Structure 1
Amino acid sequence: MSQTFSIGLIGARGYTGRELLKLIAGHPAFALAFASSRELAGTPVSAMAPEITGVDFEALSPQEAAARRPDACVLALPDGAGAAFVAAFEAAAPDTVLVDLSADYRFDDAWAYGLPELYRQREGLAGARRIANPGCYATAAQLALHPVNQIIEDYPSVFGVSGYSGAGTTPSRKNDTDALAGNLMPYALSGHKHEHEVTRHLRRPIAFTPHVHPAFSGILVTVHARLSQPVSLDAVKALYDEAYAHEPLVQVQDAAPELKDGTGINGAIIGGLTVIEDQRRLVVLCAEDNLLKGAAVQAVQNLNLALGLDELAGITADR
C-alpha cells in the first residue's frame, strides 16, 4: 500500500487499547500518531506493546489531540468520557475519522454504526467520518440473529457469558479474580445497554442477560428464538450459509461453539443450530473474543472502510 495513514489512540491503557496497538503496528498502511493515557504518560509504548518503538504514552487534552490532526483517531474511553474529544475534533480537525468504542454514539443517527457484516452496513461505513463501534455482546447477538431476523416473532432470549476483561480495568466484583473463582456472576438483569443496542439496530426487541466468569476473555451467547412459521433445520442452515458465505470473519459450523473457541480469534463462530418444537423454535450460539471482533478488530475493519482500504487490511481471517 503506497499511502500511510496516521492513527491516534485515546485511552490506550486498557485491554482493548493493547489489542489496538498490536493491530496498528501490524497494519501495512497505519502508523501510530500518538497514544494518550494519563496513567502511563511518559512510559514507552513498547512497555505495553513491544511491536511499537520510539513512541511514549502522552497525557493529551482534547484540544492537544485534535491539534495533531491525525487521519483517524480511536476513542477507547469509558461511556460518557469521549464527548470533549469529539467536540475538539469537530472544531479543529473535522475531517479526522473518529471511531468511538463507547456506547455514547450507538444511538445517534449522525454516526455510522460499525458492524460491517450486517445488511448494507458497509455502504454507510465507506468514507464515514464518525463511526460508533458496536458493543461486544451486541456484536455476537446480532451476528447470531441477523440471518433469521425476518422469520422471528416475539422476543428472542439471549444468554451471554464473557471473560472478566469485558469489565475493564477499573476494580469491581466483575473483574475480581478471587470473587470469580469457581463462579458465574450474573449482572444487569434487565435493561443492559447492549439489550437496547441490539433492539435498535435489528429493529427487534430482545431479552438479554449477561454473566461474567473467571476466563480473561471470550464471549459466548446462546439465543432462543420463536419462529413465525415452521422452518426446517436445513432451511435455517441455508439462511446462515447465505448470510455469511462471503464473510471471512464469520464461520458457520454444525457444532455448538464453546466460549474458549472464540478466545483469541479475530472473527466469530456461529453454530449449534437447532430447530425444535414443531419447527417453531430456534437455538443458535455465537462465540467471539470481546477484545477482538467485539472491539479492536471491528474498529480496524471500520477504519479500513472509512479510509478506502481493503476491509481486512491488517486483519488475518481465522479460516
Structure 2
Amino acid sequence: MIKVGIVGATGYTGIECVRLLQHHPQITITSLYSHQAVDKDVVDIFPGAKNLPPKFEAFDPKKKTDLDCLFLAVPHGTVHPMMSDLLTLECKIIDLSADFRLNDSSLFQKFYLEKHMNPEQLTGVPYGLPEIYKKEIKQASFVANPGCYSTASILALYPLTKQGLISNAVIDAKSGVTGAGKKASEGTHYCEVNEHLSAYNTNAHRHQAELKEHCHCDIVFSPHLVPMSRGIIASCYITLSNSLNYDDVQAIYTEFYNEAPFVEVHGLDHKATTQDSVGSNTCHITLKQVTEKTVILFASIDNLIKGASGQAIQNMNLMFDLPETMGLPQIALRI
C-alpha cells in the first residue's frame, strides 16, 4: 500500500483529499497535518471515518517521514519558502497551492503580489493537467496541481489553441463559494452571497496567469461568484483565426480527448450544467454555436474534485503508474 500524508487536511481541498482517498484501493493515509488542529482528534473532523490516524499533526518539512506520497493542500505562499526542505523528502509530492504552477517568477509576483523564493525550481515542476502533460507527470516526483478556473478554461480552449486556431476568447466563468477556500471573509458570508451573483477580479484573477502560459491567445477572463457550494461552468466565446464549421470543431475536440477518461465532449443537444460534474472528477465540454469565425462552448467541473483534490489524485495515480481512474468518481451526484 502507498503511504500518504495530507498537509492542510482540515481545509476544503484537504477534506476532499481524505474523502476520496478513503475509497482508493492502493492507499493508506498515515499522516494528517493541520496547523489549526494540532493534537486534536481526527474523528472530530471526520466522524465515522475508518483507517485514519488518531490525531492531527504539525507539519515540519525538515522532519523525515516514511511517506510515499505527500499532498500539500495549502494556500499560495506556503510551499515556495520550504521547497528546499521538501526536495530532501524521499516521497512524491503533489502541490495544490499555486506556488509552482507558473514557469515565470515575474508572473507569479505580478499575480500573487509576493516574490518567489525558489524561482530556479519553477521550470522543473510539471503542470499537473493530465489531459495535456501526462508524460511529464508520470516521470515527476513533484507536480503542481492546476487551479480550478484554469482547469476548466484550459481544457475548454486547448484543443484549438494547440493548433493556433484561436484569435481571442472571452471566458465568463462562474464558481461556487468553496472556490474561495475555507477562511472566512466578508465576501463569502451567507448574507453576502445568498440570492446574489457577483463579478470579481475581472481580467485580473490569479488563475489568468495559468491561462497566459498554456493558452497562447488573447483572453479576457471574467470570474463570478454564484450562491452554490461547489461547481464551475466556464462559458467561452471564441473568435477563430481560421474558418471552421461545426463538424470541424467537434472532430478536433473528440479526437483530442479520445483517450482522456475524465473529459466528455457533448454536442448541440446537450444542456451545459454543473449538474453533470459536481461530485465527479469529469470535465464536461459542450459545443454549441459555431459560425465561420465564432465558437461558443461550455466547460463544467467540480471545483473541489477535478479543480483540486480529484485531479491531485489523478496525478498521483500517474506518478505511481496506477490506472489513471483508480479511486476517482466519473459520474456526478446529479442532485
Per the alignment, residue 72 of structure 1 pairs with 69
- Counterparts of residues 159-198 of structure 1 (less than 5 Å): 159-198=172-211
Deviates more, 1:11-20 or 1:241-250: 241-250
Letter in 2 for 1:15: Y
In 2, Cα distance between equivalents of 1:309 and 1:261 = 26
Distance 1:127 1:33 in 2: 24
Distance 1:172 1:233 in 2: 44
2:171–2:222 CA contact under 8 A, matched in 1: yes
Partner of 1:263: 278
Structure 2 SS opposite 1:160: strand
Show the counterpart of 1:148. 160
Structure 1 equivalent of residue 118 of structure 2: none
State the one-letter code of the partner of 1:134: P
Is 2:37 the partner of 1:40?
Answer: yes
Give secondary structure in 1 for the equivalent of 2:130: coil
In 2, the alpha carbon distance for the partners of 1:260 and 1:309 equals 28
1:37-186 to 2 correspondences below 5 Å: 37-49=34-46, 50-55=48-53, 56-64=55-63, 67-91=64-88, 93=89, 95-107=90-102, 108-118=122-132, 121-149=133-161, 150-186=163-199
CA shift for structure 1 position 70: 1.1
Shift of 1:85: 4.0
- Using a 3 Å threshold, how does the CA distance of structure 1 residues 110 and 205 change in structure 2: closer, same or farther? farther
**What is the percentage of aligned positions where both structures have the same residue?**
31
Q: How far apart are residue 245 of structure 1 and its match? A: 2.3
SS of the equivalent of 1:286 reads strand
Q: Distance in 2 between matches of 1:217 and 1:309?
A: 28
Deviation at 1:261, TM superposition (A): 2.9
Aligned in 2, Cα 1:281/1:173: closer, same or farther, shift over 3 Å?
Answer: farther
- With the length of structure 1 as denominator, give the TM-score of the two structures: 0.91
CA offsets, 1:24-48, max 9 Å, x none?
2111111112110122222332333
User: Deviation digits for residues 137-181 of structure 1, max 9, x if unmatched?
Assistant: 100001111222225333211111000000001112342221011
Matched AA of 1:20: C
Deviation at 1:101, TM superposition (A): 0.7
1:26 to 23, 28, 35: 23
Q: For residues 171 and 54 of structure 1, do their structure 2 counterparts lie closer, same or farther at Cα, with a shift above 3 Å needed?
A: closer
Map residues 161-240 of structure 1 onto 2, 5 A cutoff.
161-240=174-253
Question: Which of 216-225 and 180-189 deviates more?
Answer: 180-189
Alignment-mate amino acid for residue 17 of structure 2: L
Contact 2:279 2:331 in 1 (8 A): no
Shift of residue 317, structure 1, vs aligned partner: 2.4
Residue 6 (structure 1) aligns with: 3
Query: How many pairs were matched up?
Result: 308
For 2:223 and 2:311, locate their aligned partners in 1 and report how far apart those are by CA, in whole Å. 21
- CA deviation after TM superposition for structure 1 residue 252, in Å: 1.3
Over 3 Å counting, the alpha-carbon distance change for 1:248 and 1:152 in structure 2 is same
CA distance in 2, matches of 1:103, 1:315: 23
Task: Say if 1:127 and 1:307, in contact at 8 Å, map to a contact too.
Answer: no
Unpaired runs of 5+ in structure 2? 103-121
User: Which runs of no fewer than 5 residues in structure 1 stay unpaired?
Assistant: none
